[in-house]
Amino acid sequence: MAKQIQHLDRVAIRFAGDSGDGMQLTGDRFASETAILGNDLSTLPNYPAEIRAPSGSLHGVSSFQVHFAAHDVLTPGDSPDVLVAMNPAALRANIADLPPNAEIIVNTDEFTPRNLEKVGYTSNPLENDSLDGYTVHRVPLTTATIAALADLDVSKKDAERAKNMFALGLLSWMYSRSTEGTVEFLKQKFAKKPKLAAANVAAFQAGWNYGETTEDFAVRYEVKPAQLAPGTYRSVNGNTALAYGLAAAGLRAHLPVFLGAYPITPASEILHELSAFKRFGVTTFQAEDEIAAVGSALGASYGGGLGVTSTSGPGLALKTETLGLAVMLELPLVVVNVQRAGPSTGLPTKTEQSDLNIALFGRHGEAPLAVIAARSPADCFYAAVEAARIALTYRMPVILLSDGYLANGSEPWLLPDPADLPDLQVEFATEPNGPDGKFLPYLHDPHTLARPWAVPGTPGLEHRVGGLEKADGTGAVSYVPADHDLMMRLRAARVEAIDVPDLEVEDPSGDARVLVLGWGSTYGPIGAACRKLRERGVSIAQAHLRHIAPMPKNVGAVLAGYDRVVIPEMNLGQLAHVVRERYLVDTVSYNKVNGQPFTSAELETVLEEVVRNA
Amino acid sequence: MPEVPVKLTAKDFRSDQEVRWCPGCGDFAILSAIQSFMPELGIARENITFVSGIGCSSRFPYYLNTYGMHSIHGRAPAIATGLAVSRPDLSVWVVSGDGDALSIGGNHLIHALRRNVNLKILLFNNRIYGLTKGQCSPTSEFGKVTKSTPVGSRDTPFNPIALALGAEASFVARTVDSDRKHLHSVLRAAAAHQGSAFIEIYQNCAIFNDGAFDVLKDPASRDSVLVRLEHGKPITFGASGEKCVVREPRGFGLEVADTANVPRSEIIVHDETVEGPAYAFTLSRLSDSDLSNTPIGVFRRVGRPTYESMVAEQNASARAGNANATPDELLSELLHSGNTWTLG
């Protein structure tokens, strides 16, 4: 029978199942085909903190959401329009996120009394009225897969395991995705096990055919390609993009990159990625602890490389003493903090923006340094390049803030032309710079306030650096009160001397009276909320900070141009505190600290209320 | 490493900084011994870097006219590791004390040793916290009365040699601040060693632990307690070699015996190069913290690839075939590797 084709502007699909069901792979494949089709998209995985949670349990549910559209996409989607639930746990764990009328595709085979009981269902939701109001497709995914593979030489277990590909085939049919890419992918993935390759391909095709032939699926959807810039793309999550950015910075600086890191969630992937970039001038060192990680990076910078350390909140706390030394030594250092929900161990796999305070202020003495933040997964690349630019040009530690939401979320990234990235080459000191032929290691450049970078191995410039206070110019240890006073003020001035671009404001109507100011990963949900408000004729201006220390020079003037400034943050008001203190603006905070990113819908409501009351 | 164009002298290694240790401090003797040893290295000053932590001993880099960093408490081995791995062309030395290396920085010390980073680690052991004015340290004798232990410490001290051996150190030695000739011989062996070299230097703190090592220095007592280890020679000591080291009759250790009562063939002949650490470990346990039977010299010296050489090898093999690529070409290769797609 002919299927009806319905055109959609955007869709969010969530694949959910047991940890062992291969949902990440399934979602990732769907996202890849979607990207190649030219839709813009954003994805977000959600997996349990436990490595192997008990099968069929609620906390063992793993999911992957993909949001794709015929226009540009800013977030992975607030709530899924379609849920694929591979078992009762997946249904139970995700049902609350579904809007009314959402489509649910369930694997009926797994709805056994035992599995229902495991997750606390007292009656089968497929048989009572609890799913009224949703469009439920009951598919015997497991038995259909086994039946489809009956003629193949694979064990029943292997056949069962291919059920995720059956689901992928069905969804690929529903949303008119092409099949060639996935077939090719499966052949390559199982190149050494041709029987498994054949089984997975067969399951995938059976899923497609199931949609095509079963009356339950009457409608097929199409989402037209977005108007994306032409060029070569790849899919990146924040951690991957950050690793690419760090390697790119080293290549643009013609310097080796040295990463010292200690494993920590959710930052470890940066270590993994960079450890595979030896070919591109990157050396990685898995240190004995967080302190050694930053220490070794500082040692590498002292030796004339780009020293980098990557971590998450608890690790940053351990590194703070070394950051104080780096401030004193005035050497380049990039510190990546992929924030997670704290304090202490907190919620290691959940996201938060609660490390702004420690980044800005978390050192003893006054030890100012540069702080910047990334706003989207792909933006992590550019944020890393910018962190390196500041570190190398101004010879100081830079903290780059990412977070769990950016680290795990993926989006297509239009690859830049290397020549379009900033030239980060530095000049090492080679000659004495003092009046009497002496070398003055702390003679500061009048514009950048950077001191010469004289690396060991340079004849005639032998000098000693250290954590003791020093005299300006000579760098000799000094306990003279005036020297300390001068150096304290100089270190603060060094941060303010960093040249950063002005804060840009997006205010398409030009008559907004309310500005929403954000930083970091809230860019997507804030942008999506503003877009929805504007579609409804509500004027609102949006500005997003990349540089937090130093602030762009025009921030005060920008804020003064609005009746109300709203600051949404995934913390209890850390940026708001800084802005209120610095600019004496009575900001309105909206805070969320439940480990989850903002949804654009909640921000839309909050912002509209502020606009109405402004 | 490039050859030194001109012959350097001890004077060339003196910086313009005024040396600020207390009168009578053992650090003066060590500084002077190292300044006079440095020319022997045959390495240009600019290719030598000293990295220290915090404490009296850690002021060392300020007084040497090489590159140097006075870092933070305990972290010198970590910082030096980053420097050595990224700059294998340099001669990197770490100067530390018993509190710095064995207490706050113990973790970094053991990991630098087990990796065999090419660092020469000098541990000035004065068995006291000097810069903070006299608290007990991790090498202070059990029961020691200090400002922080007024009725005697309850801490069992570390044996630094045994600790280093347990951490897989490939070169382990001990010497004494006042014996320049011996200090030089140990430094020479350490400098020639490829990999981590750990040198414990007994050092006198004239203010808070004065005379701690006098028994090893006093002509009246030293011969009966100092066990001078010499590779390939039977281990005997005492004014006329009346004492010697033999195997314990039971167990796996070594013990001291009267040379007169032992057949020559049963006296242990010192071998620095024994592959397993057990021999050197038992040697290190001959002395208690009372300094009786104190071996000095090289306990262990075994060949093992340095960490940085292995890292460099991996990097070089990854870079095979891209020797002529420009950085932008490499960047382009990096960005386009793996799964990409093209639109428009």
User: For the residues of B206-242, what is the DSSP string, one character each?
Assistant: TTTBTTTTHHHH-TTTHHHHEEE--TTSB-EESTTS-
From A76's Cα to the closest Cα of chain B, the distance in A is 21
State how far residue B117 is from chain A, nearest Cα, in angstroms.
Answer: 12
Instruction: Find which of A464, A469, A474 to mutate to test the B interface (most B CBs within 10 Å of its CB).
Output: A464
List chain A residues with CB under 8 Å of B86.
Answer: 256, 258, 283, 299-300, 303-305
For A427-462, b where at least 16 C-beta lie within 10 A, e where not — what string?
eebeeebeeeeebbbbebeeeebbbbbbbbbbeebb
Residues of B in contact with A324 (CB under 8 A): 72
- Evaluated on CA atoms A547, A552, A557, A558, the torsion sign reads negative
- Reference A604, options A508, A511, A518, A538; nearest CA is A538
Amino acid letter, residue A142: T
**pLDDT tens digit sequence for A34-57:** 999 999 999 999 887 777 788 899
Residue-wise pLDDT tens digits, A299-321: 999 999 999 999 999 999 999 99
Option in A35, A279, A457 nearest B318 (CB): A279
Q: Do A234 and B338 touch (CB under 8 A)?
A: yes
Q: List phi, psi (to 5°) of B19.
A: -80, 125
User: For residue range A383-414, what is the model confidence (pLDDT) as tens digits?
Assistant: 999 999 999 999 999 999 999 999 999 999 99
Residues of B with Cβ-Cβ distance to A288 under 8 angstroms: 78, 107-108, 111
At B280, is the secondary structure helix, strand, or coil? helix
B338 has pLDDT over 90: no
The alpha-carbon gap from B317 to the nearest alpha carbon of chain A, in Å, equals: 8
Q: What is the DSSP letter of B12?
A: G
Q: Which of B44, B64, B82 sits opposite A300 (nearest CB)?
A: B82
What is the average pLDDT across A145-162?
95
| Cβ-nearest to B331 among A231, A232, A248 | A248
Signed CA dihedral, A467, A473, A478, A484: sign only: negative
Q: Which residue from A124, A167, A123, A117 is spatially nearest to A142, judged by alpha carbons?
A: A167
- Given pLDDT bands bounded at 50, 70 and 90, which one contains residue B8? very high
The DSSP letter of residue B268 is P
Cβ-Cβ contacts under 8 Å, B62 against chain A:
464, 466, 477
Share above pLDDT 70 across residues of chain A, in percent, rounded to a whole number: 100
Return the minimum-mean-pLDDT range out of A103-107, A240-244, B98-102, B284-288. Answer: B284-288
Which chain B residue has the Cα nearest residue A38?
Answer: B343
Q: What share of chain A is helix, strand, coil (3-state, %, to 5)?
A: 40, 20, 40
Dist. CA A437–CA A453, nearest whole Å = 17
Among chain A residues, CA nearest to B317? A279
Q: Residue A60, class by beta-carbon neighbours within 10 Å (0-12 exposed, 13-18 middle, 19+ buried)?
A: buried
Pick the residue from chain A with its C-alpha nearest to B82. Answer: A296
Q: Is A365 on the interface with B (CB under 8 A)?
A: no
For the beta carbon of residue A266, count every other beta carbon within 10 angstroms: 23
Q: Which amino acid is at B171?
A: F
Answer for the pair A288, B107: CB distance below 8 angstroms, yes or no: yes
In the predicted structure, residue A170 carries a pLDDT above the cut 70: yes
- Indicate the DSSP class of residue A464: E
In sequence order, what DSSP letters do the residues of B33-79 get, joined into one string?
Answer: HHHHHHHHH-B-GGGEEEEE-SSSGGGGGGGBSSEEEE--TT-HHHH
Which residues does chain B have within 8 Å of residue A303's beta carbon, measured at their own beta carbons? 82-83, 86-87, 90
pLDDT tens readout for residues B75-98: 999 999 999 999 999 999 999 999
> Locate tokens 């940890």: which residue?
A19
User: CB of A131 within 8 Å of any CB in chain B?
Assistant: no
**What per-residue string of b and e applies to A584-608 under the rule 16 or more CB within 10 Å gives b?**
ebebbbbebeebebbbbeebbebbb
Average pLDDT over residues B16-39: 95
Q: What ipTM was estimated for this complex?
A: 0.97
A242-267, pLDDT tens digit by residue? Answer: 999 999 999 999 999 999 999 999 99
Q: How far apart are CA B241 and CA B222, in angstroms?
A: 13
Torsion over CA: B183, B186, B190, B192 (sign) = positive
**Mean pLDDT (whole number) for A21-29:** 95
pLDDT of B320 strictly over 60: yes
Residue A292 has its nearest CB partner, among B67, B78, B342, at B78
Chain A positions in Cβ-Cβ contact with residue B344 (cut-off 8 Å): 228-231
A444 to chain B nearest CA, in Å? 19
pLDDT at A210: 97
Measured over the CA atoms of residue A122, residue A125, residue A126 and residue A128, the dihedral's sign is: positive
Compare all CA atoms of chain A with the CA of B80 and give the residue at the minimum distance: A299
Task: Give the three-class secondary structure for A548.
Answer: strand
Which tokens belong to A554? 């025009």
The pTM (predicted TM-score) of the whole model is: 0.96
Cβ pair B68:A464 closer than 8 A: yes
Q: What pLDDT does residue B3 have?
A: 56
Q: How far apart are CA A84 and CA A69, in angstroms?
A: 19
Interface of A with B in 468-487 (CB under 8 A): 468, 476-477
Q: Are strands A370-373 and A547-549 parallel, antiparallel or unpaired?
A: antiparallel
Q: What is the mean pLDDT of chain A?
A: 96
| Residues B222-233 pLDDT 10s | 999 999 999 999
Residue from A280, A417, A477 to probe the interface with B (highest B Cβ count within 10 Å): A280
Which residues in chain A (269-328) have CB-CB distances under 8 A to chain B? 277-281, 283, 285, 287-289, 291-292, 295-300, 302-305, 307, 321-322, 324-325
Using H for helix, E for strand and C for coil, what is the string for B289-310? CCCCCEEEEEEEECCCCCHHHH
Of B82, B322, B335, the CB nearest to A298: B82
Nearest chain B CA: its distance from A53 CA (Å): 31
Sign of CA dihedral A458, A460, A465, A470: negative
Over A262-322, what HEC string results? Answer: CCCCCCHHHHHHHHCCHHHCEEEEECCCHHHHHHHHHHHHHCCCEEEEEECHHHHHHHHHH
B94-150, pLDDT tens digit by residue? 999 999 999 999 999 999 999 999 999 999 999 999 999 999 999 999 999 999 999
So what's the pLDDT on residue A381? 98
> Would you give the DSSP letter of residue A412?
E
Chain A contact set for B71 (CB, 8 A) = 295, 325, 466-467
Residues of A in contact with B55 (CB under 8 A): none
pLDDT, greater one: B288 or B1: B288
Amino acid letter, residue A378: A
